[in-house]
Structure 1
Amino acid sequence: MSTPPPADEALICSARGCRAPARWELRWNNPRLHEPDRRKTWLACPDHRESLGGFLDARGFLREVVALPGSPTLEG
């Protein structure tokens, strides 16, 4: 199990090479490997929310997308 980063450490987008602050949590699971209630999380900045979500959704893995606490909820 992973531990959350320290409160003063910025959450960074999970897209390869991106160092932008994350604004969204993409919660997913692989039904062939994970129990139905287990969720893994990728973080996304506004620029990568669609591409990361599309990658997961095309495989049937995406379960939900939620705004990170304290982040703007407007898409952008």
Structure 2
Amino acid sequence: MYDPTFMLKLVQARMPFGRFKNRYITELPVSYLEWFARKGFPKGDLGQYLSTMYEIKINGLESILTPIIRSGRKNTE
């Protein structure tokens, strides 16, 4: 089922564990996302956010996130 707020939630999500704990998922290096792609993404929302960010980064589409980040992080920082 399509969630119209998915991209907003993605730009607000932070990595909950590991080397990049508390960093925005949109700021994770592609090498870290590639590691998850090889090993397997976690289940649930986190896995969806990471796999989506992986696809965005490997396809050079980060610019689509800029307006969402500008509007979506105003109230979270």
Assess same fold via TM > 0.5.
no
TM-score normalised by L of structure 1: 0.31
More strand by share: 1
TM-score normalised by L of structure 2: 0.31
More helix by share: 2
